[in-house]
């Protein structure tokens, strides 16, 4: 069983709790999980963006000159 901090009173509440037993906040794990989902989405978007950037920056060079091409030589 995993505990999440209540968004209102910060006491640990079960993820499955329908409401916070301390302050009565309805569905205390909902905002937490939505926020994590949002952060994960941003993280994936950044990874895809950086990956696409590297791909489009490096792949033409690799295609043209081979994998061990060194632009300084």
Residues that bind Zn ion (CB under 5 A): 6, 8-9, 20, 22-23, 25
**Region of residue 14 (left: phi > 0; alpha: psi -120 to 50; beta: else):** beta
Q: Which is nearer to Zn ion, 34 or 60 (CB)?
A: 34
Q: Where are the beta strands (DSSP E) in 12-54?
A: 12-14
Nearest distance in Å: CB 34, Zn ion: 17
Q: Which is nearer to Zn ion, 4 or 22 (CB)?
A: 22
Nearest distance in Å: CB 28, Zn ion: 6
Nearest distance in Å: CB 53, Zn ion: 43
Q: Which residues contact 28 (CB under 8 A, 6 or more apart)?
A: 4, 6, 7, 8, 13, 17, 19, 20
């Amino acid at each position: 069983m995993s505990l999440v901090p209540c968004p209102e009173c910060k006491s640990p509440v079960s993820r499955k709790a329908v409401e916070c037993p301390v302050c009565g906040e309805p569905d205390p794990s909902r905002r937490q999980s939505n926020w994590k989902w949002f952060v994960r989405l941003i993280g994936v978007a950044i990874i895809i963006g950086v990956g696409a950037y590297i791909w489009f920056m490096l792949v033409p060079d690799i295609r043209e000159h081979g994998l061990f091409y060194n632009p300084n030589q």
